[in-house]
Amino acid sequence: MTDRHVPAADSASADRSAELPYVSVEFAAFCELHEPRYRSYARVWFQEPGAAHRVVRLALHAIAAVWPTVLESPNPAAEAWQILRDTVTEQHNGTAGAAGTGGLRPDVEGDEDLAILHYVVGLATPEIADVMGGDTASITSQLRQTHRRRATDW
């Protein structure tokens, strides 16, 4: 699996543990895997890297607060993704009219999230499955359907 995102030049990736609560080794591993992709996604909505970083940190703190529940869920990655999406939407709505959103709405449907992760962020379908908690075949199918529906809009 490749990781195609490029971390922001000003990202605080060197000292991640100082900002996030230590919940468990599993949570630390989860953050190492998902935080860069979450940040790449958040940069679609908050093009200022510092804002995207802060929003992702808020989401990770929210995930940490319910980590045992997330782990006990049938699909922890999907639970965490929903918390991220809720945080992005809440923060974006709180900064309505923020520059750099390109006219896009953060309250997009799941298929549009797939398209953003694939076409804008540059993740392959297996990576999207990891991030969103889906299976690769289903995501591939949804991306095809989204592409067909949206092709006339582009």
Domain definitions of the chain by residue range? 23-101, 108-154
- Identity of residue 73: S
Distance between CA atoms of residues 51 and 73, nearest Å: 30
The tens place of each residue's pLDDT in the chain, 154 residues long, gives 444 444 444 444 434 434 777 779 999 999 999 999 999 999 999 978 899 999 999 999 999 999 999 999 999 999 999 999 999 999 988 754 444 444 455 555 667 888 889 989 999 999 999 999 999 999 999 888 877 776 555 5
pLDDT at residue 146, as a whole number:
78
pLDDT at 33: 93
Q: Which amino acid is at 76?
A: P
Task: Express the helix, strand and coil content of the chain in percent, nearest 5 each.
Answer: 65, 0, 35
User: Among candidates 111, 105, 116, 130, which has minimal Cα distance to 29?
Assistant: 130
pTM of the full predicted structure? Answer: 0.76
